[in-house]
Each structure stands twice: as structure tokens, then as C-alpha cells.
Amino acid sequence: MPSFDPFNPPDLPTRYEAMAHFRQICPVAKVADSRWYAASYGGVMTGLKEVETFVGSFVDTSVLPEDEIPVSAIPEPRHGKIRRVINGVLAPHRTMHTDQFIFELANALLDEAEQSHQDTASFDLVQQYVDPIPSTVIAHVLGVPTEDFQKFRQWSDELLENQNAQLDGQPLTLTQTHPEFAAYIQHHIEIRRHAKDPQNDLITRFIRAEIEGEPLSDDMIRTQTINLIIAGNETTRNWLGNYFAALVDDAELYERIRSQPAMREKFLEESLRRDCPVQIVARAAMEDTVLDGQPIPQGDQVVFGIASANRDETIFENPAELIPDRSNLKKHLAFGAGPHICPGASLARLEARIALDVFCKRVSFVSVQAGYEFQYNPVFWALGLRSLPVNLKFAPKASQKR
């Protein structure tokens, strides 16, 4: 059995080789004391859906104050009540002209590149195009100044780094983990609590929401808002970076995607499957149970390998290949499954599609810079690029019409 620490996974491709080995030999493997790794599609799907048996997240948050536990770690039935509020505050992004906002943002980012480089440009596709999109969009949806997006990016990174350090220690609330971030959100809660002319932004919708007739406390609004920012930021930028990495590496594929807009949605879903932005989620077993034939004692942690499930060869033929014409394209588990399934999926899909549409319209040719070796962000649960230096050629102005 290869040694495999899902909290400190090996680089690619060794990581995927280890997952394939687990799927074949031992789909639920003991990877540390009281810690298991579930590798098969069936095991991961079952575990994600059985929310009474498998609860929690990477650290034991049950010791934290109830109002400061992020939604992903809250047990039922409380989770369901808070989750309804979160669905309710996120869904109206559709009425906030978010599509137009993303469209203008993506064009503005490419304008900058085009103005500074004219014809063939040298450009960091991840740092200069991909990274600003999710953090600016979440600032728009939250109703805070979009110029603050750089703070969100930096704070999300810092918060994740600080959370990594808590894996083997005492869990902290998000406010304790990043007081500056928390103070910023608290300030915006207070502005909205006293606003004479309330807007329809996400924080205002949290303030107006009720659970069983009771309004939400500031602690809960702050915790869930910070959690939404991190959950939406790291993941979406990883997705965008991963799909662009596939395109810049394969001129034929880029030309196909560029000339056939109808292919794009399928390509995006297939990229989510193969290069899964969230590689794992973790839960604790609430009782003695059996997963994929393996007995799991109460209290043990199970790490559900979403990335491995998405490459399960019994479900997806030739799983390492990007095949946008797959018949079962949408079976991937990149957004999870069951009651915790990602509430931000429609926003993420909107960002991914518009970022790709705008890029295809404006850029006629793109290739990765010679000698670049893919480097990934140091976030153990994610797969995403730190940078992606490319050469790009803009389409003639007439064919870039918006």
C-alpha cells in the first residue's frame, strides 16, 4: 500500500497514481491513526449523503461556540435550517446583474493586457485574469467596495494558511483565526444594521433572515459570510486556472472550444471532473459504521476523496483524459453531494462560463510559456495553480465585438 497523507498529498502525477491504487486494492484505506481515506465513487457518494453518520470538517469544531461554526461542520437538523438561509442569501445573485458585472470585469482585465502588450503579449493568466475574478465577484455580491477584492484575496490566503496550522492543534473560530478579516465584515454588518436606505446585498439579506422566528446573531452572520468568501474564492479560482491550464497546453482543444461555443459547457464540467478543485472533504463517524465493506469505529475521521471518485474507472472510462463528449459528464462529484452540496455552484458556473466566453472572443491564440513547470497552491484540500505564464495573441478588433 503506498503511503498517502491526504492532508499533505504528494505532487501530481504521484497523487493520482496513489488514488488509482487505493481504488483497486483498498477503497477505504487506513492512512493514519483513526483516519481513513475513501477512494471509490460509491464510497464517497454514500459518505457525503449520510449526513447523520458522517459529520464535521477537517478539525473538531464541536468545541466552538454554536454561532461560530461554519455551515459545513454543523450537524443536522441545525445544518438544514442555516443552509436554507444561505441558499436564500446566495440565490438572488441572479438578480444583481452579476452576469453583466463578470462580463465587464473580464473584459477590463483583458483590456489592460491588450493595451500594455499590443500584439503578442506575455501574461500571467492565473495572476492577472483568473485570480481577480472570484474575489471581485464575491465583493460585488456582498455589496462591499469591489476595490477591496485584493484584501479578500490576501485574507482568504492568510486564513487558509492559519487553518492549516490548526490541523493538529486547538480549533479556533474564524474571527480568532483572522481578526482583521472579521473586523472588516463586522464593520459592514454594522453599517447595514443602521442603514436608512437598505440595499439588497448578501449581508443585508443575512440581517433580514430568521431561523424559527429569531434573527441571526452578528457572530453567525460574520462566521457564515467569511466562510462564503473563502469557500467561493479559493475553489472558483482553482477551477478557472485548471481549465485554462488544459487549454493553453493543447492548441487544438483551444481552437475547438473557441470555434464551437456549444462545447464550452461540457468542457467546463469535464474539467471539474478531471482536475477537481476541491480534492477532499473530511467528516467524523458519529457511530460505528461500515463504508464500502470496511468497518469504521465511532470517532474516526474519514477523508472523502472527491478527486479520486471523479477518476473512478468503473464510472468514467479513461478517467485521466479530458473528454467533453462523455455521456455521463454531470455525474462528477466536484460540488459534493447530498444536503451539503455546494450552494455556490451556480455562481461558480456563471463565472467560469463568462470568463471563458470573453477570453475565447478576444484571444485568438494562447500557449504556455516555454520551460514553465506547473506549480500548485499549497492548500492541502485543493488543486489550483499559483501562476500560469502564457503568450497570447489578441483577435483583430472587429472580431472581438462584445
Residues of the shown chain interacting with ligand HEM in the complex, contacts defined by CB under 6 A: 48, 71-72, 83, 86, 138, 227-228, 231-232, 235-236, 239, 277-278, 281, 306, 334-338, 340-344, 347-348
The DSSP result for 245-257, as a single string, is HHHHT-HHHHHHH
Q: Is the peptide bond before 319 cis (omega within 30 degrees of 0)?
A: no
For residue 177, give the C-alpha cell: 483565526
CB of 48 to ligand HEM, least distance (A): 4
Cβ closest to ligand HEM, residue 203 vs residue 347: 347
Taking the complex as a whole, how short is the minimal distance between the CB of residue 68 and ligand HEM, in angstroms? Answer: 15
> How many of the other CB atoms lie within 10 Å of CB of 61?
20
For residues 257 and 309, which CB has a smaller minimum distance to ligand HEM in the complex? Answer: 309
Nearer to ligand HEM, 2 or 339 (CB): 339
Nearer to ligand HEM, 6 or 113 (CB): 6
CA dihedral for 268, 269, 270, 272, sign (positive or negative)? positive
Calpha distance 26→292 (Å, rounded): 9
Nearest distance, CB of residue 74 and ligand HEM, angstroms: 8
Q: How near is the Cβ of 268 to ligand HEM at its closest, in Å?
A: 10
Q: 216-235 burial string, b = 16+ CB within 10 Å, else e?
A: bebbbbbbbbbbbbbbbbbb
Q: Specify the residue, 32 or 337, whose C-beta has the smaller distance to ligand HEM.
A: 337
Residue 343 Cβ vs ligand HEM, minimum distance, rounded to whole Å: 5
Cα 261 from Cα 274, distance rounded (Å) = 21
Q: Which are the contacts of 267, defined by CB distance < 8 A and separation ≥ 6?
A: 243, 257, 322, 324
What distance in Å separates the CA atoms of residue 225 and residue 211, rounded to the nearest whole number? 16
Smaller CB distance to ligand HEM: residue 71 or 220? 71
**Which residue is closest to ligand HEM by CB?**
344
Based on CB atoms, which residue is closest to ligand HEM, 29 or 334?
Answer: 334
Query: Measured from the CB atom, is 26 or 337 closer to ligand HEM?
Result: 337
Find the shortest distance in angstroms from Cβ 278 to ligand HEM: 4
Task: Write down how long the chain is.
Answer: 402
Give the sign of the dihedral formed by CA 170, CA 173, CA 175, CA 177: positive
State whether residue 356 is helix, strand or coil.
helix
Respond yes or no on whether the N-terminal peptide bond of residue 13 is cis (omega within 30° of 0).
yes
C-alpha to C-alpha distance for 251 and 245, rounded to whole angstroms: 11
Report the nearest approach of ligand HEM to the CB of residue 128 (Å): 20
As measured in angstroms, the least distance from the Cβ of 83 to ligand HEM is 5
